[in-house]
Amino acid sequence: MPVLSGREWQYVKECLDTNWVSSAGLFIERFERATAAALNAEHAVAVVNGTAALHLAMVLLGVGPGDEVVVPALTFIATANAVRYTGAVPAILDVEADYWQLDAAKLEAFLREGCIRHNGTLSNKATGRRIAAILPVHALGHPCDMDAIIAVADPYGIPVVEDAAEAIGARYKGRYVGTIGRMGCLSFNGNKTITCGGGGMILTGDAKIAARARYLSSQAKDDEIAYVHSEIGYNYRLTNVLAAIGLAQIEKLDEHIAAKERIARRYYDGLAGIPGLTPMLQANWAQNVHWLFTILIDSTRFGLDNMTLLNRLLEAGIETRPLWQPMHRSSALRDAFVHSEITVADRVHAQALSLPSSVNLTPEQQDRVIASIKQASRA
């Protein structure tokens, strides 16, 4: 649930009072600068949502028909859809068992054994398509092992784009996620740690990419006055009103992350020692922002499976969620390339349940969630 407790009213009123409501205005620049400053990013380009940020990132890399982009099996489908919009096809790989993020070892094996290099291009042996990019997702607020992924991708010259939609503010070995790969994409959807209602951002250290992202996201205008375009552009620029909300929200980022951290600590303490219940782990190189606190339920030891627990909690008025159907199971992605070894994503999906994690969740509400889970496990 969004928490709009900062200067949202004040900033939106300024937009309305001055008539600057559309895709130009000072709040867009202020929001971009504030986000870049908060995350130590060199450039930030605001767009209409995280999916558009991912799509544009693919376009900026020249991804298109005949290409494949590696995505993890465990993510929200927007990651894979953004690849499809370009005419490219997702190459779906498994996640690792500890933190449920793209498995760098399986990626390495796939690129080495499952692909072939020809004239400086790496192609999937099974499909003949070029591997154009790698799109790891910092799922649930936990960073991927970026050094390992980049070490695998770099020798082949394959760019890495981070889907940091769920993980704004998370850090990998001290660096903010979204600033480590060639580009990083953020989402400010209503369910995220901070929100514009809807919004997204491309982060990059490359000034040329940032300039081109601005150009393509604003209909590729070659001239501000005459309607002249030499490329296909997109109407992806964020509006000033939504950027005004975003600016007020980014001012609260640290506060929201601190609240998520408190919520995670209370769950770790409160749920410790319940047979068959394992909370999501945190790598020692990671600073997880705990966007959604997620547990695994081993039904034989816990006494119920994850979906039965979901229904029990719902009866008590507590909403929880399973994880996304793994990408290789989605009929929307039936044409995708699926790597042969996907086992972890299926197991995690079959056992996972994400618990209430809103920034404004009170300790009392949280204690009720914990008590209801304990009660269900004994029943």
Residues that bind ligand PLP in the complex, under the rule CB under 6 A: 49-51, 75-76, 78-79, 137, 163, 165-166, 187, 189, 200
What is the end-to-end Cα distance of the chain in Å, rounded?
30
In the complex, the smallest distance separating the C-beta of residue 126 from ligand PLP, rounded to whole angstroms, is 26
Cβ atoms < 10 Å from Cβ of 29:
15
Contact 247, 11 (CB under 8 A): yes
Pick 121 or 325: Cβ nearer ligand PLP:
325
Pick 106 or 142: Cβ nearer ligand PLP:
142
Q: For residue 288, what are the CA distances in angstroms to 51, 81, 173, 301, 373?
A: 22, 25, 11, 27, 23
Contact 329, 77 (CB under 8 A): no
Closest-approach residue to ligand PLP (CB): 50
Pick 131 or 177: Cβ nearer ligand PLP:
177
Contact 259, 359 (CB under 8 A): yes
334-364 burial, b at 16+ Cβ within 10 Å, e below that, comes to eebbbbeebebbeebbbbbbbbbbbbebeee
In the complex, the smallest distance separating the C-beta of residue 119 from ligand PLP, rounded to whole angstroms, is 33
In the complex, the smallest distance separating the C-beta of residue 361 from ligand PLP, rounded to whole angstroms, is 19
In the complex, the smallest distance separating the C-beta of residue 162 from ligand PLP, rounded to whole angstroms, is 10
Pick 180 or 274: Cβ nearer ligand PLP:
180
Pick 79 or 354: Cβ nearer ligand PLP:
79
Pick 130 or 328: Cβ nearer ligand PLP:
328
In the complex, the smallest distance separating the C-beta of residue 155 from ligand PLP, rounded to whole angstroms, is 27
Structure tokens, 188: 């400010």
CA atoms in the 13 A half-sphere facing the CB of 38: 25
Pick 110 or 291: Cβ nearer ligand PLP:
291
The amino acid present at 299, given as its one-letter code, is S
By C-alpha distance, which of 61, 11, 290, 97 is closest to 185? 61
Contact 270, 302 (CB under 8 A): no
In the complex, the smallest distance separating the C-beta of residue 229 from ligand PLP, rounded to whole angstroms, is 25
In the complex, the smallest distance separating the C-beta of residue 13 from ligand PLP, rounded to whole angstroms, is 25
Q: For residue 50, what are the CA distances in angstroms to 84, 119, 182, 203, 247?
A: 15, 34, 16, 12, 16
CA distance 167 to 79: 14
Residues contacting residue 214 through CB under 8 Å, at least 6 positions apart? 45, 237
In the complex, the smallest distance separating the C-beta of residue 138 from ligand PLP, rounded to whole angstroms, is 8
Pick 138 or 212: Cβ nearer ligand PLP:
138
